[in-house]
Structure 1
């Protein structure tokens, strides 16, 4: 089954919202659906979901088996 390209839910340091994100190649940073980049500061639990992420559709990965 295909999964969204941004499968993680993260909070960024100093942020006030939770973002949909994917892990960067370096394994430490994430790229968010709303085009931010940073080192995650937990899952952002208890924070409202980012409006910019909500306004963008989370694309489905076209790669089988990943």
Structure 2
């Protein structure tokens, strides 16, 4: 049985100088990330206590939500 794929943007991250948290994924082996709203950088934290990025919220996670049978 195949395990379900991980979401392509599974992390929450705050970028340097940012005021919001983003949905992000690692670039290669990290530590740099790219966000759903197409920002890049090395996260300073996971963004606890910060509001969620409106641009990330408006973009769908780029992995299909359909079942692969």
TM-score after normalising by structure 1:
0.84
Is 1:49 the counterpart of 2:52 in the alignment? yes
Q: State the Cα distance separating 1:3 from its structure 2 match.
A: 2.4
Pick aligned residue for 1:40 from 33, 38, 43: 43
TM-score after normalising by structure 2:
0.81
- In structure 1, what is the equivalent of residue 34 of structure 2? 31
Structure 2 residues without counterparts, runs of 5 or longer: 65-69
* Larger RCO, structures 1/2 (Cα 8 Å, 6+ apart): 1
RMSD: 1.3
- In structure 1, what is the equivalent of residue 8 of structure 2? 5
